[in-house]
Amino acid sequence: MSHPLASLITGPVLTPDEEGFADEVAPHNRAVVNSPDVVVGATSTEDVVAAMRWAAEQGVHLTVLATGHGATTPVTSGVLLTTRRLGGVEVDPEARVATIGAGARWTDVIPAADAHGLNPVAGSSANVGVAGYLLGGGIGPFARSHGFSSDRVESFTVVTGTGEVVEASADEHPDLFWGLRGGKVGLGVVTQVRVRLVAIPELYAGSLFFDAEHIETALRGWIAWTATADAQTTTSAAIVTFPDLEVVPPHLRGRTALTLRVARPGDEAAGAAATAPLRALAPTFLDAVGVLPVARAAEIHNEPVHPAPSWTRGIMLSHADDDLATAWLGAVGPGTDQPFVAAELRHVDGATGVDVPGGSAVAGRTAAFVAGVVGLDPAQFDTVLPAAAAAVADAVAPWTAAELNPNFAGRGAAVWDPATADRLQLLRRTYDPDGVLA
């Protein structure tokens, strides 16, 4: 017997006993196993409206799943709405605006924009979903030069908790527009977003790799360098223990290294000059920084693209100094026997600190760095990684910022400043008065 929603929805409607259910509810982060009462694969805004209104009538929660890169909490009841079929990208090269379906990933947007000599301000991984990324704000490899990615959103098409379709922009529903740029959850289901594109004709970018014996010198030097860093240059430093697996290049397998990521829009000469102090920090065993087509910017961080289980936790830092380097090395440096495959510090103190006209709900504008740790062994997800991450949090407590951006929180809790948090709660009650959205 088919589910009652099946007669209302164009897309697939599946219950746990039906073929295809497990694939439909699976997020990119396979550490999370969803088991809702029913999953709806939306193929249109009308499908979203029907699912929302049905959930409201039945008094059950509706949860949204796009790509699920940031999934941390399993959905165990109610309606799970998947948006992956709401794809499509249209670029207006004259207006420099891309209209993007909620199911699209940056991998869909980048080539469409690049065909017109334009670029989205995307994340460090081009594989993530556009809508979920922008709802959290979005910090990518151009954070210092171009700010939060959500700062370039022109408007959202969103289905509210009451099943109403509204356009949210600076002119229409500006209160909702404020909240959708950074408020992340509970404000509605985005079905389409319009984003301003930028022109970055040239890019000098890539990664410098320092062997374990040089990690301390390079990390301390990099943190000192960030105090006077070129405002156009965004960098991050990750201590990575590369698995001894065939998917890892042979020269990196089983190796612990510091990978220093660099992205600077501009020509080769300016990029080389800005990067010269970083190259001089310590001997590198691999120098992969140079001229890079902007459409290949995801190669800077080179994050995995295939679904797999992972465990992450993030912290935002108000500042950094040599004492932070000591604390970081003591917690996750070589010889500490920490369980993380990667422990990263991202320098974001730049355009991220400048809010948009009219303001936005983005958390973390006052932060100077983002710290994050990643684990990949499911056997460690329940106890080992949480304990180790708690120890890292304790170690960097003197530098921890008051806010934590939801896109980087991982297993931590996102934190907005009190005024923003209160305003977001009011917005959620306004646009979802019955609390349909989980």
pLDDT tens per residue, range 240-297: 998 887 778 888 888 899 999 999 999 999 999 999 999 999 999 999 999 999 999 9
Residues 174 and 156 sit within 8 Å (Cβ to Cβ): no
**What is the set of domains in the chain, with CATH numbers?**
4-82 (3.30.43.10), 89-199 (3.30.465.10), 203-409 (3.40.462.20)
2 pLDDT band, cuts 50/70/90, is: confident
pLDDT at position 244, please? Answer: 80
Q: How much is the CA Rg of the chain, to the nearest whole Å?
A: 22
Classified as helix, coil or strand, 338 is: coil
Q: What is the tens place of the pLDDT at every residue in 343-400?
A: 999 999 999 999 999 999 999 999 999 999 999 999 999 999 999 999 999 999 999 9
Helix H or strand E segment including 240: strand 234-241
Band of pLDDT at residue 1, cut at 50, 70 and 90: low
DSSP per residue, 376-431: --GGGTTTHHHHHHHHHHHHTGGGB-S-B-HHHHBTS--B--HHHHHHHHHHHHHH
Burial of 95 per CB tally in 10 Å (0-12, 13-18, 19+) = exposed
Neighbours of 183 (CB within 10 A): 28
| pLDDT value for 166 | 98
Q: How many percent of the chain have pLDDT more than 90?
A: 95
Strand 62-65 relative to strand 79-82, pairing: parallel
Q: Please give the pLDDT value at position 438.
A: 82
Q: What is the pLDDT of residue 437?
A: 97
* Tokens, residue 438: 């989980």
Band (pLDDT 50/70/90 cuts) for residue 417 is very high
Interval 309-325: pLDDT, tens: 999 999 999 999 999 99
pLDDT at position 304 = 87
**Coil, strand or helix at 271:** helix
Spatial distance between the Cα atoms of 247 and 304, rounded to a whole number of angstroms: 10
Residues 190, 102 contacting (CB under 8 angstroms): yes
- Concatenating the DSSP letter of every residue in 93-145 gives TTTTEEEEETT-BHHHHHHHHHTTT-B----S-TTSBHHHHHHT----TTHHH
**In the chain, what percentage of residues exceed pLDDT 70?**
100
pTM of the model: 0.96
pLDDT digits (tens, 9 = 90+) for 87-138: 999 999 999 999 999 999 999 999 999 999 999 999 999 999 999 999 999 9
Residue among 54, 64, 62, 67 at smallest CA distance from 79: 62
Inter-CA distances, 5 with 1, 20, 301, 344, Å: 12, 17, 42, 44
